[in-house]
Chain A
Amino acid sequence: MSVIENLMVGRHMHMKTNLVQSFFHFGPSQREEVLHREAVEEIIEFLEIESIRHVPVGSLGYGLRKRVDLGRALAQDPKILLMDEPMAGMNTEEKEDLARFILDVREAKRIPIVLVEHDMGVVMDLADRIAVLDFGRKIADGTPKEIQANPAVLKAYLGEDSQ
């Protein structure tokens, strides 16, 4: 599937035409597609992926694929964006790119973002508030500054002796 098709899938929950209507691609279903295509193009512009609009996602690099994933999530017009380790397996440059888009999403869409991430650099730079889990139990929460100074966090993440 191409990038644009992928994003259109993200719009699916907003589509109102039913299966029967969709078999005949005219009238309401065509109008609706134009409307959703417009929304998808806005996301393409936002994520700066115009040049790969018609490229199959499978042939893209890892960083771009993740960006398409983010685009598909955004296509649903979420009220809250949940991301589970979006940076896993990325190189520094890809991480920097995605981090910038995450910040842009927060600015542009004005929606809360919940990010689960192990990369401390990313977490400290992006987050306004951090909750730290240790084996499933929350051991601390607060601003990045508070977390960095929290003894329970240091103990859990760096070991007993490091204090």
Chain B
Amino acid sequence: MKLEMATLPQLLRKHAQTTPNRLSQRHKQRGIWREYSFADVQRNVRELALGLHLAGVKSGETIAIIGENEPQHYWAEFAAHALGCKVVSMYPDLTAGEVAYLMDDSEAVVLFAQDQEQVDKGIDVRAKLPTLRHIVYWDTTGMWSYNDPILHTFDALQQQGRTVHQRNTKAYDALVDAGSADDIAVLSYTSGTTGQPKGVILTHRFLIDNAQRLINSMDVRPDMEYLSYIAPSWATEQIYGITLGLGLPMVVNFPEGPEQVLANIRELAVEGMTFAPRQWESMASSVQAHMLDAGPIRRGVYEWGMKVGHTVNVGRLDGKPIGLWDRILFPVANALVLRPLRDQLGLTRLRCASCGGATMAPDIFRMFHAMGIPLRNIYGSTEVGLLTCHQGDRFDLETVGNWMKSHPEAGPPLEWRVSADGELQIRGGSPFLGYYRRENSVESKVKDGWFYTGDAVTKTERGELVFLERLSDLKRLRGGETFPPQFVETRLRFSPFIKDIMTVGDETREFVAALINIDMSVLSRWAEEKRIGFSTFTDLSQRPEIAALLGQEIARVNLFLPKHARVKRFANFPKELDPDEGELTRSRKLRREFLEGRYSMLINGLYDGSREVRIDIPVTYQDGRRGNFEALVSIHDTDSAGSYHLGAA
């Protein structure tokens, strides 16, 4: 299927004319799912657009929208597009200061605000925004005492638009006809690596191109039920819920509110949804937390079922042969555990599940795959759109998948290459048009037709792309090679045995080494099961069996790294890292410089080839007494982690 290259309001009008009663949006409001057909959406958008037109909004101006995902948010965007305006969508939890910056930078003339909370932000910052002419809100709760002339209700604006339409039924069509696919549709603000957010210019052509890339690479089907949850200020939702929602089209479902999302998913049993890693992780951990509360029998059945699911589903994904016994057990596990679990989560019909925006631990992916949910990674950048995703039935969960195909009318086909220092460079598809009101922004990113993504990547043997790190976050070793510290740390931190991990290695060091803070609660249970005796944290952390286990975990991640970037040696911290000691921040992030100083003896030991190091560090006890902590720490080589060396501790 190929999408028509047109503006979004043109697509909407076409659906409203050919299939007016087809369902377009669904919103749970006051306990009931309210449905909007294409004719309803078209009418709402038309009245809004004409109302804005009457209020003096002109083609090429900017309209800002702030609020949760609700139909009105999307109607406002379509109405802005119908007038030839560009849209800045803002996260509802932005502060007034951030709202002021985005609206000023984008020269917004109208602010659509969901409710009192958002209107207050607009009123707060209007003095700083000479271009702002109107604030329009759709939720009237709490608004009874406001009578500022800058404020309008959504309904009043639509009422005015309705009058215009009654007088001239051609007025709206004329506006929509004037639009072209190369009009700027959206300014999507990215934080960038340094400085203030910059608005990436996205045209209708870009949006249609990217929606087409999804159609080409995922099992999306017309009329599928999609959950709109990620914010439209993120370009991903502009492509999914907005463009694909209109183009394919899909039924776009809006949850009742952020807290009701999980319950709403169950009511809907959606077929497509995209979450950021955080949301998938919280869904996975809610399952795990419930199972921890369950009785031993139920937990046993759950664990058995998940194990069978893992063997079969994840095995198939890896292309491993599945044993006959597991194939016999699988339908039983599916009936007893996996299907009820999917049903509880409301994921029984989920076909297009994707995860984007940041790296998520492969173990979370494996858990969903074990349940029978084909969760896929999706990778791209706001500037050049979606680039890769997991496609087909076999893919590697450590990668971000295979290349997508762009829309034939968007530009030449997508091409990519990896530069000598590992940077991904892109050509083709709808081009990068620069950051709004930033001079030379195209020239700074695009050289000889290639867009420099700034992402360090590698490729697996099967041709799948592995995202490592932002190029600017890479660290360099003495030999000049670079390595991605976050990539290593993120993946290893999701090992249940590892609480924190710090990679060391810089211009003065030959190779990469790691210091690990073990997860005492998990490892002590593991040790009990394996009948390994231990006394304290220090003792457990230095047990050779633990070192061997962690060595295997590191070796697994090492496989995805070029040779020079592999973790060669590691040691376990002999005491638990503690924010009270200043070793971690209160939000449990590593304080690297402090740790490097405090454990310098240990780090030197990692590099001078020692087998063990005696460390002696000052500590403060809970009651304020000071003392010294002494321990003998063993150091391990990952290559020989199988045949570890016994420390004297």
Residues of A within 8 A of B (CB): 4, 37-38, 41-42, 44-46, 50-51, 53, 104, 107-108
Query: Which residues of chain B (31-65) have a CB below 8 Å from chain A?
Result: 31-32
Q: Does B144 contact A (CB under 8 A)?
A: yes
Let me know if B260 and A44 touch, CB within 8 A: no
Let me know if A108 and B144 touch, CB within 8 A: yes
Q: A50-B31, A51-B263 are in contact. List 20 more A-B contacts (CB 8 A).
A: A4-B31, A37-B31, A38-B30, A41-B30, A41-B31, A41-B32, A42-B30, A45-B30, A45-B141, A46-B141, A50-B256, A50-B257, A50-B259, A50-B260, A53-B31, A104-B142, A107-B142, A107-B144, A107-B145, A108-B141
On whether A44 and B144 interact (CB within 8 A), knowing A50-B257, A50-B259, the answer reads: no
- In angstroms, Cα B141 to Cα A104, docked, is 10
A residues less than 8 Å from B145 (CB atoms):
107
- In angstroms, Cα B31 to Cα A4, docked, is 10
- In angstroms, Cα B53 to Cα A150, docked, is 60
B residues less than 8 Å from A50 (CB atoms):
31, 256-257, 259-260
Let me know if A44 and B30 touch, CB within 8 A: yes
Nearest B residue to A51, CB-CB: B259
Determine the main DSSP class of A at the interface with B: helix
Closest chain A CB from B139 CB (angstroms): 10
Number of B residues near A (Cβ < 8 Å) is 12
B residues less than 8 Å from A51 (CB atoms):
257, 259-260, 263
Closest chain A CB from B371 CB (angstroms): 24
B residues less than 8 Å from A46 (CB atoms):
141
Residues of B within 8 A of A (CB): 30-32, 141-142, 144-145, 256-257, 259-260, 263
Nearest B residue to A48, CB-CB: B257
- In angstroms, Cα B116 to Cα A46, docked, is 13
Closest chain B CB from A51 CB (angstroms): 5
Nearest A residue to B145, CB-CB: A107
- In angstroms, Cα B32 to Cα A155, docked, is 56
A residues less than 8 Å from B263 (CB atoms):
51
Closest chain A CB from B145 CB (angstroms): 7
Let me know if B142 and A108 touch, CB within 8 A: yes
Closest chain B CB from A42 CB (angstroms): 6
A residues less than 8 Å from B31 (CB atoms):
4, 37, 41, 44, 50, 53
- In angstroms, Cα B32 to Cα A41, docked, is 9
B residues less than 8 Å from A108 (CB atoms):
141-142, 144
Closest chain B CB from A80 CB (angstroms): 20
B residues less than 8 Å from A41 (CB atoms):
30-32
The 7 A-B pairs with the shortest beta carbon distances in the complex, nearest first, are A41-B30, A41-B31, A51-B259, A50-B256, A51-B260, A45-B30, A50-B260
- In angstroms, Cα B163 to Cα A23, docked, is 47
Closest chain B CB from A68 CB (angstroms): 15
Closest chain B CB from A6 CB (angstroms): 14
B residues less than 8 Å from A37 (CB atoms):
31
- In angstroms, Cα B30 to Cα A37, docked, is 9
A sample of 27 inter-chain contacts (CB < 8 A) reads A4-B31, A37-B31, A38-B30, A41-B30, A41-B31, A42-B30, A44-B30, A44-B31, A45-B30, A45-B141, A46-B141, A50-B31, A50-B257, A50-B259, A50-B260, A51-B257, A51-B259, A51-B260, A51-B263, A53-B31, A104-B142, A107-B142, A107-B144, A107-B145, A108-B141, A108-B142, A108-B144
A residues less than 8 Å from B259 (CB atoms):
50-51
Nearest B residue to A110, CB-CB: B144
- In angstroms, Cα B141 to Cα A108, docked, is 8
- In angstroms, Cα B30 to Cα A50, docked, is 8
Closest chain A CB from B28 CB (angstroms): 9
- In angstroms, Cα B477 to Cα A98, docked, is 59
Closest chain B CB from A48 CB (angstroms): 9
- In angstroms, Cα B260 to Cα A4, docked, is 16
Closest chain A CB from B119 CB (angstroms): 15
Closest chain A CB from B167 CB (angstroms): 35
- In angstroms, Cα B145 to Cα A104, docked, is 12
Closest chain A CB from B259 CB (angstroms): 5
Nearest B residue to A53, CB-CB: B31
- In angstroms, Cα B2 to Cα A17, docked, is 56
A residues less than 8 Å from B30 (CB atoms):
38, 41-42, 44-45
B residues less than 8 Å from A53 (CB atoms):
31
Closest chain B CB from A25 CB (angstroms): 18
- In angstroms, Cα B187 to Cα A24, docked, is 57
Nearest A residue to B32, CB-CB: A41
B residues less than 8 Å from A45 (CB atoms):
30, 141
A residues less than 8 Å from B257 (CB atoms):
50-51
Closest chain A CB from B239 CB (angstroms): 29
B residues less than 8 Å from A104 (CB atoms):
142
- In angstroms, Cα B624 to Cα A41, docked, is 55
Closest chain A CB from B115 CB (angstroms): 12
Closest chain B CB from A156 CB (angstroms): 37
Nearest B residue to A37, CB-CB: B31
Nearest B residue to A39, CB-CB: B30
- In angstroms, Cα B338 to Cα A144, docked, is 62
Closest chain B CB from A108 CB (angstroms): 7
B residues less than 8 Å from A38 (CB atoms):
30
Central interface residue in A41, A42, A51, by most chain B CB within 10 Å: A51
B residues less than 8 Å from A44 (CB atoms):
30-31
Nearest A residue to B257, CB-CB: A50
Closest chain A CB from B346 CB (angstroms): 15
- In angstroms, Cα B263 to Cα A108, docked, is 29
Central interface residue in B31, B145, B260, B263, by most chain A CB within 10 Å: B31
Closest chain A CB from B144 CB (angstroms): 7
- In angstroms, Cα B31 to Cα A154, docked, is 49
- In angstroms, Cα B260 to Cα A76, docked, is 27
- In angstroms, Cα B269 to Cα A36, docked, is 28
B residues less than 8 Å from A42 (CB atoms):
30
Closest chain A CB from B146 CB (angstroms): 12
Closest chain A CB from B143 CB (angstroms): 10
